[in-house]
Amino acid sequence: MAIKARVRVVALFLLVLFLAPVVNLTRFQVLRSEALLARPDNTRTLEDLSLRGSLLDRAGQPLAQTRQGRRVHPLGPVTGPLLGYLTGRLGAAGLEASLEARTVGYAIPRTPMQAWSLLTRGDRHGDDVVLTLDRGLQTLAWELLEGARGAALVLDIPSGEILAVASRPSFDPARLEADWERLRVDPSAPLIERGTQGLYPPGSTFKILTMAGALADGRTRSDEVFVCTGSMDAGNFILHDNAVHGRVDLKEALVVSCNVTFATLGQRLEVSGLRRWMDGFGLLEAPALVPNAAEAQPMQPGAPSVAAEAGIGQADLLVSPLGMARVCATLARGGIDLEPRLVRAQTRRGQVTWRPAAPRPRRVLPEAVAGEVRRAMEEAVARGTGGRAAVPGVAVAGKTGTAENPHGEPHAWFVGYAPAEAPKVAVAVLLENSGGGGLHAAPLASRLLQAALSR
């Protein structure tokens, strides 16, 4: 019967038509989903953001807040990669993402328990989070880095709080979505926060740790005299120093940054000893209250030269600027470590709803040992490699670093603290591929220390 043949034709025709909605569902639910969610008139996104709490600096000034349904960052690129971003299209990153659990009143629950607490909670507004940052110092740190790639970090010594952590290159969060395609592939990595997440060979700044470890372990004494001939046998190759330092005692070796001395101490400590001291200073574990921080990578045992190279902060070990600032602060406290922190409190309409436990002081090494290293660091600034870090009227202690790396020119480092006799603030300055630390990084540290002390 011809009718039945036509029934098949009509049925097939109609069933094929059912494919059309599948095409559009794929377009709207998958392919164009993010673009649709990011549209400014999409109240779903607005509703989510308007319930977000703000991020505040230590004085309660906003660093991130929602205005007319958009997340705004008043300091713009100054806090760029540190705070990250929060948009419907690109999602969240940086502190905005890590602190989401506190700033979000309404989130898509990921576990049954979250779903339950979401359902039973009345007020869906998220809390504010108070950070330890100081707006003025943060802005200064960022301005000092102008024209460079690198990071500048200021640590409050009595509390362990991070007062400033600037990173260049940065991005303007207000133009993030427009610039996204460029930012994403930019080889200079503007989306990475270098102060806490960037890992670098510490170079000579690491000598303060080598010295402290060797003294505490009894591998050397403060009056030991080393003979520097400008080079030494590191095991499987000849390690060259930047100068022939002749006969130097331990303190003098740090002041002039003698590689032969500290490579020798590295050999005496061995890889295991150096690693133990990195762990002792807390470098091998990321601090819990600095979200996204990267822990240091210790050197891998292998060639006989590793211990010697690691003693002067080379080999394959990597530390963040935060990590080196932490070592400085520990020495400045006379050998007591406080875990650095970036988060002060969680508040709701000005009332504190959560506060992290007070940092637990932890003795890392004897006070006398810390004192030896501190005196050497003080003289390194007073008459040694770190001269340009000096601040008029204040005694500064510190150590420069010029870290060889596979990416070109050495990284310029300076780590230090001030005032030397009663330390208040520690700094770490790192400039990628810009040469000598004493020449380039130390002057920035001077400006930062001066500003931090007059705060």
Partner 1 sequence: MSERRSGLVLMALVSAILVLGAALAQAGLQRLEPPSPWPSVGLILGAFWIGWLLSALRGRGADFMLFPLASLLCSVGWLEVYRLGPAIGSPALGERQALWIALGVGVFILALLVPGDYRTLEDYKYTCLLTGILLQVAVMLFGTEINGARLWFEIGPVLFQPVEVVKILLVVFLAAFLRQFRHWIRLGLLSAEGRLPRRALFLLGLGWAAAEGVLVLQKDLGMALLLFGLFLSMFFLSTGRRDLVALAAMLAGVGSWVCYHLFGHVRVRVGAWLDPFSDPHGQGYQMSQALYALASGGLDGSGLGMGRPFLVPEAYTDFIFVALAEEWGMLGALGLLMVYMMLVTRAFRVALAAGDEFGTLLAAGLATLVAWQTLILVGGTVQLAPMTGITLPFMSYGGSSMLANFLLLGILWRISAVGEVSGGD
Provide the minimum distance between the beta carbon of 110 and partner 1 in the complex, in angstroms, as a whole number: 11
Cβ proximity of 156 and 163 under 8 Å = yes
At residue 93, what is the residue type? Answer: A
Residues 6+ apart with CB under 8 A from 433: 149, 405, 407, 408, 409, 410, 411
What letter does residue 378 receive in the DSSP assignment? H
Measured from the CB atom, the residue of 24 and 454 that comes closer to partner 1 is: 24
Provide the minimum distance between the beta carbon of 45 and partner 1 in the complex, in angstroms, as a whole number: 8
Measured from the CB atom, the residue of 26 and 300 that comes closer to partner 1 is: 26
Measured from the CB atom, the residue of 17 and 358 that comes closer to partner 1 is: 17
Half-sphere exposure of 93 (CA within 13 A, CB side): 15
Q: How far apart are CA 191 and CA 144, in angstroms?
A: 19
The number of residues making up the chain comes to 455
The closest of 156, 155, 157, 153 to 141, measured between CA atoms, is: 153
Residues 6+ apart with CB under 8 A from 205: 313, 324, 399, 400, 401, 403, 413, 414, 415, 437
Provide the minimum distance between the beta carbon of 5 and partner 1 in the complex, in angstroms, as a whole number: 8
Provide the minimum distance between the beta carbon of 93 and partner 1 in the complex, in angstroms, as a whole number: 20
Measured from the CB atom, the residue of 9 and 358 that comes closer to partner 1 is: 9
**What is the b/e burial string over 87-109, where b = at least 16 CB atoms within 10 angstroms of the residue's CB?**
bbeeebbbbbbbbeebbbbebee
Measured from the CB atom, the residue of 8 and 247 that comes closer to partner 1 is: 8
Measured from the CB atom, the residue of 105 and 160 that comes closer to partner 1 is: 105
Provide the minimum distance between the beta carbon of 1 and partner 1 in the complex, in angstroms, as a whole number: 7
Provide the minimum distance between the beta carbon of 69 and partner 1 in the complex, in angstroms, as a whole number: 14
Residues that bind partner 1 (CB under 8 A): 1-4, 6-11, 14-15, 17-18, 20-22, 24-26, 28-30, 32-34, 36-37, 39, 41-44, 108-109, 115, 119-120
CB atoms within 10 A of CB 403: 24
Helix (H, G, I), strand (E, B) or coil at 228: strand
| Structure token pair of residue 216 | 């505490």
Provide the minimum distance between the beta carbon of 41 and partner 1 in the complex, in angstroms, as a whole number: 4
Beta strand pairing call for 343-348 and 351-354: antiparallel
Measured from the CB atom, the residue of 4 and 360 that comes closer to partner 1 is: 4
Cβ proximity of 290 and 177 under 8 Å = no
Measured from the CB atom, the residue of 30 and 357 that comes closer to partner 1 is: 30
Provide the minimum distance between the beta carbon of 96 and partner 1 in the complex, in angstroms, as a whole number: 20
